[in-house]
Chains A and B, each alone.
With several copies, the nearest count.
Chain A
Amino acid sequence: MIHFPAFDRNLRHRVGIVVVLVVIAALLALTTDSFATAANLTNVARQVSINGILAVGVTFVLLTGGVDLSLGSVVALSGVTCALFAHPGEYPLFVPICVGLLTGGLCGLLNGVLVTRGGIAPFIVTLGMMTVARGLALILSGGKPVANMMPALTDLAGDLGPLPIPVLCFATVALLSGIFLGRFRLGRHLYAVGGNEQAARAAGVSVTRVKLLAYGTCGLLTGLAGVVLAARITTGQPNAGQAYELDAIAAVVIGGTSLSGGVGSVIGTILGVLLIGIINNGLDLQGVSSYYQAVIKGVIIVGAVWLDRRQSRS
């Protein structure tokens, strides 16, 4: 087996989150019959995969010290463009998929260009992209869901053997991103830029290229999430993805990535995604009223992060 020192270290650093995850899972397994079943765990995996893909993507951006608020809107836009090219009998399967990915990638690159060349704060750039992409999704779809998608595409939300395809997508994306960030030179540069941009530049790192890469990758993965979502709900929904960016960023930050950049890991992000996913699933299984769900969810997230940070400080 290949040895991943960074992997082990990151897992060790996030011991607090792991503990919270295990405790919650154990509690759920004890108090409900349905939690610890294969079917339900597959469910959890399936449900977290879209947020997971987004979270891995935005990890790139957060590591450089930026932020991307346009995730949700770009998910909707890519879903719509994908669905527009996905009517049965018009194009082969790869066309709508590529269109969706490209849409996301282009939005991300544009974000990156505005941040690096324009020198505008990422918050503003991606907030702008958030409204623009939503507007475009509505314009392109005429405000209505784009239905009638080819079965080959909607099948992508189905299973491959025992595993749902969205879960496979998430796992692949996470694995590749983890290797890239942990082992590649450019991955290292991402951390450097986020840790101290000036110093990274002085050490010969091309800050512009690194940031373009980060925003572009994030956009591409957002496009992927858009395609997966469209396949799952069998439509391109112009108003889909509302506030997805918050869930994704929350997962990343829970996983120990600093919002000011330079610190973080994909493994942490995965833990954050799982924590949010298990809370959502568990509260539904327990039949907690939706008013209290909100309160409990907020408290658990803050509590988990508090424990985790206390843990890693001592």
Chain B
Amino acid sequence: CKKPAERKEGEILLGFSSRDLSAEYTAKLSEAIVEYAKTKPGVKLVMVDAQSDVQKQFSQVENFVAQKVDAIILNPCELEASTPAVDYVKAAKIPLVLVNQVTKSAGDSYIGSNDFEAGRIAMEAIAKKLNGQGGVLMIHGIMGTSAQLQREAGAREVFAKYPGLKLIDQQTASWDRAKAMALTENWIQAHKGKFQAIFAHNDEMAMGALLALERASIKKDVTVIGIDAIAQALTAVKEGRLDATVFQDAVGQGRGSVDAALLLARKQPCPKENLIPFQLVTRENLATFLK
């Protein structure tokens, strides 16, 4: 069979399809993967960007299979919809590592964390801060994406636990800071004084909510928590503006997935699952996350 020309004898070729490089967390994860792969001698990694399109990602996976790569690292777009891509790789008998997002079919190894957990941790923090009493607003990501669905589900579990916690209103801001800002401005008008916390499905939107609250000078009455621990969110936590965020270890996940892929490519045993837990970042434990 034909091997790509740029491949030297004995070199290992890895294919990596990233969910969306224009999203900050995924970009960080992908960078970690690329950088870590560079430190491994005899390894070549090709990265492609699915731009959040399931069908496009499926095509990229097909391209990898056609190229006969030694292993594939997949950062799936979706829980359900990305399953056929996983099945396709398995049928082609190429080792597959899933990172940051599971699918219905399991790969040979999964590195990552569970979005359900992230939602739960963030909401728990809010509940604790409000002593289980108060009004909460929730800003969703793009509706129907698995991150949105699972983060919501995690948060809902907490609502069930604390009957004093009321979900006053919820709306999507499509992961977008400007949209979250406008939404929060509108909510400040509609629900003035009735809410004590805002939970945003990611930090971008949390930053938008934060800016709107600050502009209306009512931030001190409202707790804001996001997810992802992007750089700006960490700074905001440090400055005492943002109450908390949920840390996802992009570098840990990235390195773990490359290691797993190499093990599988060399036909060595590899753990089926490597869960890197989410951690709540507050002002108290911030130092460990600011490197």
A contacts, CB < 8 Å to B: 32-35, 37, 39-40, 43, 46-47, 50, 134, 138, 141, 143-145, 147, 154, 157-158, 229, 232-235, 237-240, 242, 280-281, 284-285, 287, 289-291, 293
Contact = CB atoms under 8 A, between A and B. Distances in A.
A144 B149 contact: yes
B62 interface: yes
Contact of A237 (B65, B80, B215): B80
**Which 3 pairs across A and B sit closest by C-beta, in order of nearness?**
A290-B49, A284-B186, A239-B144
B46 A233 contact: no
B43 interface: no
A232 B149 CA distance: 22
Given A43-B185, A233-B54, A280-B182, A238 B4 contact: no
A145 B82 contact: no
Interface of B: 2-6, 18, 21-24, 27-28, 31, 46-49, 51-56, 58-60, 62-63, 65-68, 78-84, 104, 140, 142-145, 149, 169-172, 174, 176-178, 181-183, 185-187, 189-190, 192, 204, 207-208, 211, 215, 230-232, 235
A43 B192 CA distance: 14
Given A47-B182, A147-B104, A233-B207, A157 B143 contact: no
B175 to A, nearest CB: 9
Contact of A287 (B62, B190, B208): B190
Given A239-B23, A242-B53, 10 more contacts: A43-B63, A47-B182, A144-B231, A145-B204, A147-B231, A233-B178, A235-B81, A237-B178, A290-B170, A291-B143
A141 B231 CA distance: 14
A141 to B, nearest CB: 7
A46 to B, nearest CB: 7
Contacts, number: 186
A143 B232 contact: no
Contacts of A138: 21-22, 143-144
Contacts of A40: 63, 66-67, 186, 189
A237 B52 contact: no
A239 B53 CA distance: 10
Contacts of B2: 33-34, 37
Nearest to A293: B49
Given A233-B54, A237-B144, A34 B66 contact: yes
A234 B144 contact: no
Contacts of B78: 145, 233, 235, 237
Contacts of B181: 232-233
Contacts of B22: 134, 138, 143, 238-239
B27 A143 contact: yes
Contacts of A50: 55, 178
Contacts of B63: 34, 40, 43, 281, 284-285
Nearest to A42: B66
Contacts of B5: 32-33
Nearest to B31: A143
**Most interface-central of A39, A43, A134, A240 (chain B CB within 10 A):** A43
B79 A145 contact: yes
Contacts of A43: 59, 62-63, 66, 185-186, 189
A158 B6 CA distance: 31
A32 B190 contact: yes
A278 to B, nearest CB: 11
Nearest to B185: A43
Given A242-B176, A290-B49, A46 B62 contact: yes
Contacts of B31: 143
B59 A46 contact: yes
Q: Which of A233, A237, A238 has the most CB of B within 10 A?
A: A233
A144 B150 CA distance: 10
Nearest to B148: A143
Nearest to B18: A290
Contact of A232 (B3, B55, B68): B55
Contact of A145 (B6, B47, B80, B183): B80
Contacts of B55: 50, 229, 232-233, 240
Contacts of B4: 32-34
Contact of B58 (A34, A233, A238): A233
Given A32-B4, A233-B181, A37 B66 contact: yes
Contacts of A154: 84
Contacts of A293: 49, 171
Contact of A147 (B80, B171, B172, B186): B80
Nearest to A31: B5
B46 A287 contact: yes
Given A143-B149, A233-B54, A235-B80, A285 B185 contact: no
B186 A281 contact: yes
A281 to B, nearest CB: 6
A63 to B, nearest CB: 26
A284 to B, nearest CB: 4
Contacts of B142: 239
19 contacts: A34-B2, A34-B189, A40-B66, A43-B186, A144-B144, A144-B231, A147-B104, A232-B84, A233-B177, A238-B144, A239-B23, A239-B142, A239-B145, A240-B55, A280-B59, A284-B187, A287-B48, A290-B51, A290-B172
